[in-house]
């Protein structure tokens, strides 16, 4: 099966960074993706909100350089989560995204984000892109 998602949007909140018991970074936030369209001559806009999670070094990089409102392109896979609501006892579910690579789209002058990034091995990934598997 093939599970690949590419989204471009703005972060809806600052990164929430934590570390697992083995010391690996886990960073959570959400992205808003807007779509403008026209129906019967009337201009409309709809926004989709998607929770996203970064793991490892990409989570640390995201936490260091991104904040609420940052424009970003993320590439990764969909993840389906299920749980039981503790207050109501009802089953809940949602789709979220696991980020495998990202590209920071804010310019250096606008968001203070460096034009070039380095991966965990110190290799330049170029122009605000970060690919943790390279």
> pLDDT (tens digit, 9 = 90+) per residue, 14-73?
999 999 999 999 999 999 999 999 999 999 999 999 999 999 999 999 999 999 999 999
Does the pLDDT of residue 91 top 70, yes or no? yes
Token reading at 81: 């989560």
Q: Predicted confidence band at 111 (pLDDT cuts at 50, 70, 90)?
A: very low
Whether 109 shows a pLDDT value over 50: the answer reads: no
pLDDT over 70 (residue 74): yes
CATH number for the domain whose boundaries are 5-130:
2.40.50.140
Please say if the pLDDT value at position 110 is more than 90: no
Residue 100 near residue 91 (C-beta atoms within 8 A): no
Query: Looking at per-residue confidence, does 129 or 113 come out higher?
Result: 129
């Amino acid at each position: 099966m093939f599970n690949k998602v590419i989204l471009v949007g703005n972060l809806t909140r600052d990164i929430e960074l934590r570390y697992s018991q083995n010391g690996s970074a886990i960073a959570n936030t959400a992205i808003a993706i807007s779509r403008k369209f026209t129906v019967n001559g009337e201009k409309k806009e709809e926004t989709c909100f998607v929770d996203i999670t970064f793991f490892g070094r990409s989570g640390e990089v995201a936490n260091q350089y991104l904040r609420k409102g940052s424009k970003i392109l993320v590439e990764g896979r969909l993840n389906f989560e299920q749980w039981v609501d503790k207050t109501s006892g009802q089953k809940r579910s949602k789709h979220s995204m696991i980020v495998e690579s990202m590209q920071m789209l804010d310019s250096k002058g606008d968001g203070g984000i460096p034009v070039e990034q380095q991966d965990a091995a110190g290799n330049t990934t170029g122009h605000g892109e970060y690919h943790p598997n390279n």
